[in-house]
Chain A
Amino acid sequence: MSVFTLDNVSYSYDGTTNVLDSLSWGFEAGKLYGIVGRSGAGKTTLLSLMAGLTNPSAGRVMFDGTDLATMDRYRYRSHDVGVIFQSFNLLPYLSAVENVELSMYASGKHIQNSRLRAMALLHQVGLDETKAKRRVLKLSGGEQQRVAIARAIGYDPKVVLADEPTGNLDLGTQQDIIDTLTVLAASGRCVVVVTHSPEVAKCMDSVYELKVQSVKRHNR
């Protein structure tokens, strides 16, 4: 049973040329998906559609059998899906742990001991307590990436969407992050990763390749 289904989805920025053209894909729970493609192929656009940040020009994006266009997308984004943005999009005036806590509060899930849970998540992605309490502006790019990952999974969403989650990390840390995402998928979540890295793509259960107006699927 697919958690996500793209039903003949197309997207155009200018109304004439489609960046995405008639995509009909399925994404299942418990699996790690990779989306690869050249720059400008529409990888981030696809992730924005799946995150409910924009609507397709044609077709439907279905989550658990419901068209996203008919859902309360603030609740969807805060409750059902965790997004790891390419440029992190953390609140700069908050500390790392506060950024993670904020997403927990926003989810409305009444998570107990949110501070402890946020600290544990940050520890899991490799940030110690000192760095966890530091304002994110004072963290390196790789550290901010880890905070973004912790924020995306802090409220236990069904789906995790990651846009180049290892783009700013060294090889060792890359592997740690891939391991974390693999564990998340193994725990029953659907994890979708947009990546340029062939090494990362190799770790995926399934990879979709985006080309301009065409797509290839590689199953393992």
Chain B
Amino acid sequence: MFIIRNAIKSVSRSIGRSILLFLIVVAITAAAAVALSIRSTAAQVADDSASQLSVTATIDIDRQNLMQQAQSQQDEPVARESYRDQFSMLQSLPLDTLLEYATSAHVSEFRYSATLSLNTTDDIEAVGSEETTQATQLNESGLEMGGVLSGGGGGAGGPWSFAGVSLGDLSVVGYASESAMTSFVSGQQKIISGAMIDLTQANNEALVSSEFAVYNSLEVGDSLVLANPAATDQTYTFTIVGIYDAGASSTTESLRFSTSQDPANQIIISYPTLSAVEDESSTTATTSTDIRGQSISTALSSTLTHTFVFESPNEYQEFDTQLRAAGLDATYALTSTDLEAYNSSLIPLENLSNFAGKMLLIVLGVGALVFAVVSVFNTRERKYEIGVMTAIGISKLKVVLQFLAEAATVTLLGLLAGLGIGMVAAVPVAETLLANQVSAAQAQQTSVETNFGRPGGGAPMLGGTATLPGLGNTSAVSYIDQINARVDFDVAGQLGAIGLGLALLSSGFGAAFVMRYEPLNILAERS
């Protein structure tokens, strides 16, 4: 008890030194409270965002990896033909394999659709076929479009064949589920007349765009006959059960080399219907050889589009691991653009958290050093007192305990004051720092955009969007720009531990000196 009494008396006696230590503790605690609350809240925000994030992903050919592999296997530069041969042999994963992967417990949903290219027949024409015809004539006159592109006759604007697949002037999309119809789910497209098709049946029901319907005077209930672009005698008849608003108008888009790219020329059917059409064309297909010696079939070939949906980034990661364990080789990669966007959105927050962590380390390091120095001077200054106390029989341990009690008293008071200041300062300081981080991230991205000659100059706006790195100028990322950096019980607990650590550090240095002192020597020096 007398240790506590002595400690309190000593604190009040040396009021100047006590105030100095108090102010040091207040400064350390306030800075630490802000830093810890920022780190804690940043982690919480990231966790909350991750838990609310629904991740979508696809399994695609990993071209970058293939390129790196090809380069690492050969010392000399690889010939262009070698790349071309390698890549031409690669095919996307078949639907059966994807469906098998989709049975994983980590996948919450699997959506897919397939697209065929068909031609119009008789008096039906694709929207914008005249403009497209001019464009294709321009290309035939000498412009190379890239890839293996060859022109041909038939239809209003085609057919064109691209990499051995004939292109028609209409795009026919077969959906397996309503959730796969993302434009309808988001409201970009909507049915304005008639009814939705039955996606589970191969009943040749179709939805056409309002623009296409008006252009060809089509109504709900009419039949629509379309042809195989590679074999115009093969036709397929669909019944129009609904007309939808395509959202994007053909006139708002830039010139296309095929009318099938125009949203107005998209015919929507069920996946079973599309599959049946594809099967039927296969049974009557013929093959021929083009001028390059490649075999060309008249069979329709659809392009599959798929999406895996996950409830959280963690499920995505687990699924990726599971895929590799199941034998998916490095040719394919699971990729998610919205996860990349999510990670990018956290960049300012992560930078802020890292900054707060460094600030915490510096504050604690400098604070501990100052505390240690003050403690050493304090102990040396009180050498005589230590000598008297030990001479009258107070053990060195009790002297150290008194020093600890003194340090704890000052630290406790400083901790409470610093905690109060930290609680008040945490939110505005965190928001200011985060705003700076967001501005820095946006400025950096704007600079990159400007370097590529894209619009993007001007002052970045707080909380605005920036282009996602690596995705050209089409994907934008919205940075997290709000943080409510509260000093909660966890932070208070951590501050308590810091305070205890400082008190122990201070007493520890003092104790080292106390243990060295012998009372007789001290008193002899004094005498």
In the complex, A158 has a CB within 8 A of chain B: no
In the complex, B181 has a CB within 8 A of chain A: no
In the complex, A25 has a CB within 8 A of chain B: no
- The contact string, 1 if C-beta is below 8 Å from chain A, for chain B 386-427, is 011111111110100000000000000000000000000000
Q: How far is the CB of B2 from chain A (nearest CB, A)?
A: 4
- On whether the beta carbons of B388 and A105 are closer than 8 Å, the reply is no
Q: Tell me the bound Cα distance from A85 to B520 in angstroms.
A: 11
Total residues of chain A contacting the partner, CB 8 A: 27
Residue of B1, B396, B398, B526 touching A87 (CB-CB under 8 A): B526
In the complex, A217 has a CB within 8 A of chain B: no
- On whether the beta carbons of A91 and B388 are closer than 8 Å, the reply is yes
In the complex, B84 has a CB within 8 A of chain A: no
Q: A91 to chain B: which residues have CB within 8 Å?
A: 385, 388-389
Q: Tell me the bound Cα distance from A78 to B399 in angstroms.
A: 14
Q: How far is the CB of B285 from chain A (nearest CB, A)?
A: 104
Residue of B6, B392, B396, B523 touching A103 (CB-CB under 8 A): B392
Q: B456 to chain A: which residues have CB within 8 Å?
A: none
Q: A69 to chain B: which residues have CB within 8 Å?
A: none
Total residues of chain B contacting the partner, CB 8 A: 23
> Restricting to A91-113, which residues have a CB under 8 Å from any CB of B?
91, 93-94, 98, 101-103, 105-107
Q: How far is the CB of B514 from chain A (nearest CB, A)?
A: 13
Q: Which residue of A is nearest B1, CB measured? A: A105
- On whether the beta carbons of B523 and A74 are closer than 8 Å, the reply is no
In the complex, B13 has a CB within 8 A of chain A: yes
Q: Is the interface of B mostly helix, strand, loop or mixed?
A: helix
- On whether the beta carbons of B9 and A93 are closer than 8 Å, the reply is yes
Q: A77 to chain B: which residues have CB within 8 Å?
A: 391-393
Q: A175 to chain B: which residues have CB within 8 Å?
A: none
Q: Tell me the bound Cα distance from A78 to B389 in angstroms.
A: 10
Q: Tell me the bound Cα distance from A106 to B388 in angstroms.
A: 12
- On whether the beta carbons of B13 and A93 are closer than 8 Å, the reply is yes
Q: How far is the CB of B520 from chain A (nearest CB, A)?
A: 4
- On whether the beta carbons of A107 and B393 are closer than 8 Å, the reply is yes
Q: How far is the CB of A101 from chain B (nearest CB, A)?
A: 8
- On whether the beta carbons of B391 and A85 are closer than 8 Å, the reply is yes
In the complex, B263 has a CB within 8 A of chain A: no
Residue of B396, B398, B523 touching A85 (CB-CB under 8 A): B523
Q: A74 to chain B: which residues have CB within 8 Å?
A: 390, 393-396
> Restricting to B421-472, which residues have a CB under 8 Å from any CB of A?
none
In the complex, B201 has a CB within 8 A of chain A: no
Residue of B6, B10, B13, B391 touching A89 (CB-CB under 8 A): B391
In the complex, B519 has a CB within 8 A of chain A: yes
- The contact string, 1 if C-beta is below 8 Å from chain B, for chain A 77-91, is 111000101110111
Q: Which residue of B is nearest A76, CB measured? A: B393
In the complex, A182 has a CB within 8 A of chain B: no
Q: A85-B523, A87-B526, A89-B523 are in contact. Are A106 and B2 (CB under 8 A)?
A: yes
- On whether the beta carbons of B2 and A93 are closer than 8 Å, the reply is no
Q: Which residue of A is nearest B3, CB measured? A: A105
Q: A93 to chain B: which residues have CB within 8 Å?
A: 9-10, 13, 385
- On whether the beta carbons of A102 and B2 are closer than 8 Å, the reply is yes
Q: A174 to chain B: which residues have CB within 8 Å?
A: none
Residue of A53, A79, A101 touching B391 (CB-CB under 8 A): A53
Q: A51 to chain B: which residues have CB within 8 Å?
A: 391
Q: B392 to chain A: which residues have CB within 8 Å?
A: 77-78, 83, 89, 102-103, 106, 151
Q: Tell me the bound Cα distance from A131 to B317 in angstroms.
A: 79
Q: Tell me the bound Cα distance from A53 to B393 in angstroms.
A: 10
- On whether the beta carbons of A87 and B527 are closer than 8 Å, the reply is yes
Q: Which residue of B is nearest A53, CB measured? A: B520
In the complex, A22 has a CB within 8 A of chain B: no
Residue of B394, B526, B527 touching A106 (CB-CB under 8 A): B394
- On whether the beta carbons of B6 and A102 are closer than 8 Å, the reply is yes
Q: How far is the CB of B475 from chain A (nearest CB, A)?
A: 71
Q: How far is the CB of B378 from chain A (nearest CB, A)?
A: 14
Q: How far is the CB of A88 from chain B (nearest CB, A)?
A: 9
Q: B385 to chain A: which residues have CB within 8 Å?
A: 91, 93
Q: How far is the CB of A39 from chain B (nearest CB, A)?
A: 13
Residue of A54, A87, A105, A151 touching B520 (CB-CB under 8 A): A54
Q: A75 to chain B: which residues have CB within 8 Å?
A: 393
Q: B391 to chain A: which residues have CB within 8 Å?
A: 51, 53, 77, 83, 85, 89
In the complex, A48 has a CB within 8 A of chain B: yes
Q: B387 to chain A: which residues have CB within 8 Å?
A: 89
Q: B395 to chain A: which residues have CB within 8 Å?
A: 74
Q: Which residue of B is nearest A135, CB measured? A: B13
Q: Tell me the bound Cα distance from A106 to B10 in angstroms.
A: 17
- On whether the beta carbons of B527 and A86 are closer than 8 Å, the reply is yes
Q: Which residue of B is nearest A78, CB measured? A: B393
Q: B393 to chain A: which residues have CB within 8 Å?
A: 74-79, 103, 106-107
Q: How far is the CB of B443 from chain A (nearest CB, A)?
A: 59
Q: B388 to chain A: which residues have CB within 8 Å?
A: 89-91
Q: B520 to chain A: which residues have CB within 8 Å?
A: 48, 53-54
Q: B390 to chain A: which residues have CB within 8 Å?
A: 74
Q: How far is the CB of A155 from chain B (nearest CB, A)?
A: 9
Q: Tell me the bound Cα distance from A91 to B393 in angstroms.
A: 14
Q: Residues on A close to B: CB < 8 A?
A: 48, 51, 53-54, 74-79, 83, 85-87, 89-91, 93-94, 98, 101-103, 105-107, 151
**What 9 pairs across the A-B complex have the smallest Cβ distances?**
A78-B393, A77-B393, A105-B2, A53-B520, A74-B395, A93-B13, A106-B394, A89-B388, A87-B527
| Interface pairs (30), CB distance under 8 Å | A48-B520, A53-B520, A54-B520, A74-B393, A74-B394, A74-B395, A76-B393, A77-B391, A77-B393, A79-B393, A83-B391, A85-B391, A86-B527, A87-B527, A89-B387, A89-B388, A89-B392, A91-B385, A91-B388, A91-B389, A93-B9, A93-B10, A93-B13, A93-B385, A102-B6, A103-B392, A106-B389, A106-B394, A107-B393, A151-B392
